[in-house]
Structure 1
């Protein structure tokens, strides 16, 4: 019997079918959707008109000052944040954000420092907003001609730090290393100069003067004592600011302008819609903030035609200003008021240009 071989004329089937490849891709994507990324995502956030109301209450009010109607609108711009240390965005969300020019992907450590919990970061953000509001009230009242005395005080103390069990919330700090201090900058400079040696602080607690010693600790490139300080003011008139659950110090400039516009007769910006951002110091200096490119998008989407930006953020905005929005760079309150005079007069603002 002759042996015979039989061959199948059909082509061999691929080991993996098309559906198998699709299934593998689906499984890979599903895995990415559950895998923490180590990043957070920033997006344009809400916009708040400080001349308006929130939950039926005026954002800016006073029981002591006469208020005036205004045609101007002043918006505080914010950035929304997706993710925190306990719940990162997944890789699909991160990849989508990287492809979207209206979103910003950041390493989580840049927003939530490893040495702080999410709750501590949020508490610090809330404190920064409270301090910025107090500074805004003080600057506005001084601009209106009032005298506003201030004192440096301890707002809170972080556990397990050099200041823990030595400083308490409400302490007034009046001296450091035997020299009188009146500003946070003076205290910070003294802490850095002291390094890891003993720091002698003069306090007033419950009306009684006392002295304590604290040894600062190294944190990164600087020394810290572990206390959050701010200014408490003796305001000659009561001004109440209500903005709900918004944190950070970046609303300082716009709060200041809103207060001035609320309690002075003229509309500072005429009938124009002005948005902006920037911290405000007790002497009226406007400081830099984060997320500026996202904030101009939020401002434009809300209908603003003018945006006030800190001078230190100028370079970030070059080439990123939405069409139809004029950006004015300001260094301090005086600069901002000059810009508003031009806006109210209908003067066209110049193209964005950064100078040293």
Structure 2
């Protein structure tokens, strides 16, 4: 008779068979590890990180329509048909006050060459709320549109009257109760002023704590205010932020939808100019660009230039107008198929578009020459 195999005490099954107890312990460990991985993954999507992820946004033709309506409308003056595109570019910003990004957003932003991850405080002031960000962005867009219209009208020979107004009064200004947003500043210490710089110069001539006499236009009436000055980081001020109000000979409106910020100013100015002048400024070509603009026609730098380049290329543009002050960020990051033209003023932007329309883009300045 063949003897039975020896079975050790406590062991179930014969030689070569799997121990079900040990299998159970390994399975439990795997399940616990899987559960922890799932829990950590879920937690990582909930914990916000203090970063901002910048991504390419859509482009919009200033000569076209938005939500079924012309983006630029003119009343009281002749306009002309046109073609082609003068696209303003945008950046999608993930994160910021009230909208913090997750670790997955940051990892994707680090791996995707078209995206950029920056510290939140480099993009948004510390302590600012999402409502304040939205209000400031909207105000910047409104100012940008007004300055763009002023530049375009002056370029067509129209008369534009400029008024310097109080844009905002600081809550802790010494004479906050006497000043009002919207007041037009006519004179300082009895001397007529002709812009923000002359006002600042007149105020800074005082010592902190002295009073400065302001003549203001408020609701159709003249108001005299003795405003007390104060020291602000080594400068003498009265605690007001100055703005510009324009008086146009006819009505021009720009509706950019829910886009905010000042960076579309140059493309708005080109779009308004094209609408008010005969012929197609672009020659039918698709041209994108960016850049702030002031009433003097100076093109200023913007943020997110690399993302805007990608957005322009993805949107079908072949040419891109870039502020000269952004050139250091452009070099080495121009998408294939896109020609970038360097501009510093509205006149340069307009002449560049005209050259592109005439097939002479190769003669235009770039960020590398």
RMSD (Å), alpha carbons:
3.0
The number of equivalent residue pairs is 350
Structure with the greater alpha carbon radius of gyration: 2
Asked whether the 8 Å contact 2:324–2:367 carries over to 1, the reply is no
Query: CA 1:254 to 1:195, structure 2 compared with 1: closer, same or farther past 3 Å?
Result: farther
What residue is the counterpart of 2:222 in the other structure? 208
Measured in 1, the distance between the counterparts of 2:127 and 2:187 equals 29
Residue 320 of structure 2 aligns to a residue in which SS? Answer: strand
Asked whether the 8 Å contact 1:153–1:173 carries over to 2, the reply is yes
Residue 113 of structure 1 aligns to a residue in which SS? Answer: coil
Q: Return the TM-score normalized by structure 1.
A: 0.87
Query: CA 1:284 to 1:169, structure 2 compared with 1: closer, same or farther past 3 Å?
Result: same
Asked whether the 8 Å contact 1:181–1:187 carries over to 2, the reply is yes
Measured in 1, the distance between the counterparts of 2:357 and 2:188 equals 47
Out of 311, 318, 336, the position equivalent to 1:323 is 336
| 1:191-232 per-position Cα deviation (integer Å, ceiling 9, x unaligned) | 77878555626241322141332445647x978765443211
Alignment of 1:1-356 (within 5 A): 17-160=29-172, 164-176=176-188, 180-187=192-199, 197-198=209-210, 200=212, 202-206=214-218, 207-216=221-230, 218=232, 227-349=240-362, 352-354=366-368
Following superposition, the deviation at residue 158 of structure 1 comes to 4.7
Give the gaps of 5 or more residues in structure 2.
1-7
Give the gaps of 5 or more residues in structure 1.
none
Moved more, 75-84 or 225-234: 225-234
Measured in 1, the distance between the counterparts of 2:199 and 2:55 equals 36
| 1:290-310 per-position Cα deviation (integer Å, ceiling 9, x unaligned) | 111111111111111111010
Q: Return the TM-score normalized by structure 2.
A: 0.84
Query: CA 1:324 to 1:197, structure 2 compared with 1: closer, same or farther past 3 Å?
Result: farther
Measured in 2, the distance between the counterparts of 1:327 and 1:69 equals 27
Moved more, 184-193 or 339-348: 184-193
